[in-house]
C-alpha cells in the first residue's frame, strides 16, 4: 500500500504543478484513485507486480534492489534512513507525525479516513 501512495503522490505532484491540491485514496480492491488539480486517474497493480496509471498509461516496476522505475523514465529509491530519492533530484522524507515532505516544498498527509492530501 505504501508504494501505491508514494506513486500516486509523485504522479499527482509532478503532473499538476506545485500549486494544485492533490488527494489519493486506496479502495478495497487495492486500487489507488488520485485527483490533482482536477486531473484524476487510477493506479492498479497486476499479478506480476506492475503498477499501471490509467490516465497516463505509465507503468511502474520495482526491481530486486528496491528501485522503482517508470516507463516514462522516472525512478526512485528509499534508503535505509527513510529518505526517498527521485531521479529528478527531488527527495522526500516522512516525519514522526506522518507528514511526507518533499524538497520542492510539497507536503502530504494521510487523514484518519485513509485519504492522502498533498499541497
Sign of CA dihedral 113, 56, 94, 63: positive
Q: Would you place residue 21 in the very low, low, confident or very high pLDDT band (cuts 50, 70, 90)?
A: confident
- How many Cβ atoms sit within 10 Å of the Cβ of residue 23? 19
pLDDT, tens digit (0-9, with 9 covering 90-100), for 56-108: 999 999 999 999 999 999 999 999 999 999 999 999 999 999 999 999 999 99
Determine the average pLDDT of the residues in 33-37.
Answer: 89
Nearest CA-CA partner of 98 in 112, 78, 80: 112
Q: Give, in order, the Cα–Cα distances in Å from 40 to each of 33, 36, 54, 84.
A: 7, 6, 9, 24
Q: Distance (Å, rounded) from C-alpha 43 to C-alpha 2?
A: 13
- For the chain, the structural domain boundaries read 2-118
Q: What is the dihedral of CA 58, 62, 67, 68, to 10 degrees?
A: 20
| Phi and psi torsions of 31, nearest 5° | -85, 140
Question: 0.85 cut: is pTM over it?
Answer: no
Give the residue carrying C-alpha cell 526512485.
76
Amino acid at each position: 500500500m505504501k508504494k501505491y501512495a508514494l506513486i500516486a503522490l509523485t504522479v499527482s505532484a509532478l503532473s499538476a504543478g506545485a500549486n494544485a491540491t492533490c488527494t489519493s485514496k486506496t479502495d478495497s480492491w487495492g486500487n489507488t484513485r488520485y485527483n490533482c488539480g482536477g486531473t484524476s486517474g487510477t493506479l492498479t497493480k497486476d499479478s506480476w507486480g506492475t503498477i499501471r496509471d490509467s490516465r497516463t498509461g505509465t507503468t511502474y516496476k520495482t526491481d530486486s534492489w528496491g528501485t522503482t522505475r517508470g516507463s516514462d523514465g522516472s525512478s526512485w529509491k528509499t534508503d535505509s534512513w527513510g529518505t526517498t530519492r527521485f531521479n529528478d533530484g527531488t527527495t522526500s522524507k516522512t516525519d514522526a507525525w506522518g507528514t511526507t515532505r518533499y524538497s520542492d516544498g510539497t507536503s502530504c498527509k494521510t487523514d484518519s479516513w485513509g485519504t492522502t492530501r498533498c499541497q
